[in-house]
Structure 1
């Protein structure tokens, strides 16, 4: 994959916007001008021995490490394909499904898929991996009361019938035919059947190339190489994750040789020596919670969409490492609609819609909470401030609330926070499945894990699209994305993003569209290693 590197000097502000927004954008660049003090990195010397320990610095500490939550970025970046593994793996570059813990799979009945499993795999605690563990893992993630993100995101909250036929055969049966069940199963991380079904685990046991060594709360997570791993051994005997909330600190740790990989660098901290840009498959948007006024009025939601200056945000805050978005999935995902265009900003039309709603008694002056997550993406706080200013300019009362991951999830995923007033949630959605049905299911169905909208008609349309395959499936999904923009306006899309990953000169790693969610440590090599 050809990767482009960011400029070493901060870019000049572009566009013709005046006043507060230009000043706000200028403020976003102040940390670079002020220099970089590596606060909180004095402990970085303890992040491990270079060449022996792969040292990774994250933006935040994970809330837990339960493999059933591996589709959440903050958890999956540690767990997926490192500690635990799925039955089937999706290649993030080609999109092809590949064998992993399952060697073959076949649709043996219209509603049943049968999978053959490896017989030479053991868990980190020495237990052999069998079909009972595979069935248990699917049942735990999808059919239990744990409210795992993968349940709503990938399986739309639908229960499955799972059976271990013998030690190396498992069947998965659905109520209706499901042509993409193997793709869904690629999101189930396998755990032993002794894993708790009552609570989410903090130190998981898996089959992956690395095993948990320990988690010192607030300090680090340590992994050790699994010497009994069934596959190819990873290059580094140990891996250690630390977290630093400031992107400038993460970048400086790469530059100073204190870390090998760092997630989510800011453009002003990135150089040709410490980072690489990559398409991270993420889309930012405001998800408008329609349970309360004034966001329950489509005129107000349309006004918000019209108020956002997407190109200015992409150019000024993201330094061109983004492009304005018109839908939640980027090009290349099945169902992407090439006919949708980003909304052209029209503050005057937005003000008219707000005034019209106010004239009909809608409380447009009611405070709207713009909720964002610390470390969600580079310059997230500045993005929230830009949005606050733009929405205020069309007559809306917006207050910013910045939260950590655990608190943000209470607004993001069912059961959502109650009695919190109208919420415009800043989300960054990555579709790692390559199929828009997984985005649509969780965000647009009545009972979707991340939806506050939905109708019986839309639910039926989504279900019908999910039963299709090939071009018919793509066209049906693209049509649903168009309906969201035309008739629902739950989302005010902002930008399709690129990521900046810090990479030390001492290691070799080529980030791909999944790297922001699933950082496979086994793909990292020492720079002087043969064949790297």
Structure 2
């Protein structure tokens, strides 16, 4: 099979190029090195300065050429790629197959300690044929390769090899549409259009300057938009949507997204080692009430971790454990903790729609079954530090000495990869996993390497059955992405949380 097309879609005609556009997000990326972290804000901003091999089109989500103009599947585990010949890094160095190999080799290298390494555990290597042609080899069949590399594995200038990570905070080292000029940590980033970007001809009216503001509180983001301080914001709270719509100069765009909101557990610690307790929690939480009240209905009920764009495993008919407080009470009585226990529910503040409010609602739902829960919201960096401390301890003796904890957060899986999300959530080396079962890891690996699509779909469905049976994670719902923007702009909301500034134009 050969795919061939021109890269760069989604642009709209405009009156004149924008001098600048200001975008506000609830947080900032922990680094501008695009190969080391797994971070959804990073997946947004990295694309501004770095290119992927392929890209998901705005609107359809269809995988389209980007740095790679063509590819051909040579076999279940081999794909040949042809690179565009006009792509250059910011210093004028051509983007070559060697640069692609360097970037992916960097991700999987043990010394990098990349949190993306788990996403490329099936990567065997790249054979460079010439400057613009290479063969990608996997350890086995990989039906999810193209969706995965539309998000992860951005191409970095090999000249950065051996350099300190700090240089990535000072400027960018990619071939993307913009170049990072300044970064005031916890405040703003300024990007300038890359004059040598290969896609400039297709996007002649792209903004010359893109300013990224970091504002944690959703209400403050809305105030900044209405005051004209910013042009585009994500994560509009449901209760403020009408306030934005009432402004004749502003507009709201809502699209069903990919982000799953879920509850995770410090598995194996005290009462959270008791399946009856875990089931009781799931039957005690009224997901539908939270969806309708806190999120204003702007979310889809979910009975699984896969979203509709996932290449295998998604089943719209799947349901989760129903809200049943009486059954929850019975399960607690049958558990080893019939008198209840104390637990803390952690979440970030302003990171996801309704995160703090949902966290605050959960204790009231658990109290009738004897669980004394306390909500503890915190800023995202502190939340991440706490979460990782639990995860890094999970195979150590110190882990079970920790206090039992629940974690309410979101995960986007913009790569639309069922193996990726399962490895991340329940894998022994998962970046978001508080659980480890090497046999389950092997089952996930086997499913990921099936070449037959129907068999693979069924295999990932069975994995969902397993994690539901073991109550490994509690999916709440899939949220809608709600944006607000200035009406003087042509702006199209995407389903995958990304914002492509080069597609934004003036009306």
Match of 1:404 in 2: 379
Q: Secondary structure at the match of 2:49?
A: coil
Ranges in structure 2 where 5+ consecutive residues have no aligned partner: 1-16, 394-398
The alpha-carbon deviation at position 451 of structure 1 amounts to 2.1
RMSD, aligned CA: 2.4
Q: In structure 2, what is the equivalent of residue 313 of structure 1?
A: 290
Give the Cα separation in 2 of the matches to 1:381 and 1:371.
Answer: 9
* Richer in strand (by share): 2
Alignment partner for residue 319 of structure 2, among 336, 341, 363? 341
Using the alignment, how far apart are the partners of 1:229 and 1:208 within structure 2?
Answer: 6
Q: Distance in 2 between matches of 1:249 and 1:150?
A: 32
Task: State the distance in 1 between where 2:429 and 2:36 align.
Answer: 19
* Preserved CA contact (<8 Å) 1:113 1:181: no
Structure 1 unaligned regions, length at least 5: 1-49, 528-532
Shift of 1:409: 2.9
Structure-2 change in CA distance of 1:248 and 1:262 (3 Å): same
Which residue in the other structure is 2:173 paired with? Answer: 205
Per-residue deviation, 1:412: 4.9
Which position in structure 2 is the counterpart of 1:216?
A: 184
* 1:115 matched to 2:81: yes
TM-score normalized by the length of structure 2 = 0.86
Match among 75, 98, 120 for residue 42 of structure 2: 75
Give the 3-state SS of the residue equivalent to 1:348 in structure 2.
Answer: helix
For 1:441 and 1:110, locate their aligned partners in 2 and report how far apart those are by CA, in whole Å.
Answer: 21
1:196: Cα distance to partner?
4.7
Aligned to 2:472: 490
The superposition leaves residues 176-210 of structure 1 with CA deviations (integer Å, 9 ceiling, x where unpaired) of: 23233333332211111122567643243111111
SS at match of 2:454: helix
Q: Distance in 1 between matches of 2:256 and 2:502?
A: 20
Counterpart position of 1:188: 153
Residue among 368, 372, 387 paired with 2:362: 387
Alpha-carbon distance, 1:79 to partner: 1.6
Distance 1:324 1:500, change over 3 A: same
> Is 1:429 aligned with 2:428?
no
Partner of 1:4: none
Q: In structure 2, what is the Cα distance between the partners aligned to 1:412 and 1:105? A: 39
Q: Which position in structure 1 is the counterpart of 2:193?
A: 225
Determine whether 1:291 maps to 2:255. Answer: no
Q: Tell me whether 429-438 or 414-423 shows the greater mean CA deviation.
A: 414-423
Q: Per the alignment, do residues 197 and 269 of structure 1 end up closer, same or farther by CA in structure 2, a change over 3 Å counting?
A: farther
Query: Paired residues, what number?
Result: 469
Please give the alpha-carbon distance, in whole angstroms, between the structure 1 residues aligned to 2:148 and 2:411.
Answer: 17
Q: Aligned pair 1:259/2:234, yes or no?
A: no
Q: For residues 146 and 399 of structure 1, do their structure 2 counterparts lie closer, same or farther at Cα, with a shift above 3 Å needed?
A: farther
| Cα pair distance change 1:224/1:131, threshold 3 Å | same
Moved over 6 A (4+): none
The 5 Å alignment of 1:83-482 reads 83-91=49-57, 93-152=59-118, 154-155=119-120, 157-158=121-122, 160-186=124-150, 187-196=152-161, 200=165, 201-202=168-169, 203-232=171-200, 233=203, 235-270=206-241, 271-272=244-245, 273-333=250-310, 334-358=312-336, 364-365=340-341, 367-412=342-387, 416-418=391-393, 419=399, 420-468=402-450, 469-482=452-465
The change in CA–CA distance for 1:66 and 1:218 in structure 2 (over 3 A counts) is same
**Which of the numbers 512, 517, 521 marks the counterpart of 2:494?**
512
Pick closer, same or farther for the CA change 1:197–1:351 going to 2, 3 Å: farther
- The Cα offsets for residues 360-419 of structure 1, whole Å up to 9 and x where unpaired, read as 9xx952x32312112221221111010122123321232323233333334556982535
Q: Once structures 1 and 2 are overlaid, which stretch shifts more, 62-71 or 252-261?
A: 62-71
Query: Contact 1:370–1:426 at 8 Å: present in 2 too?
Result: yes
Alpha-carbon distance change, 423 to 198 in structure 1, aligned in 2, over 3 angstroms? farther
Distance 1:212 1:459 in 2: 39
The SS at the match of 1:416 is: helix
What is the distance in 1 between the residues matched to 2:409 and 2:217?
A: 20
Q: 2:26 is matched with which residue?
A: 59
The superposition leaves residues 249-283 of structure 1 with CA deviations (integer Å, 9 ceiling, x where unpaired) of 21122222221101111112223234221112111
Contact 1:283 1:495 in 2 (8 A): yes
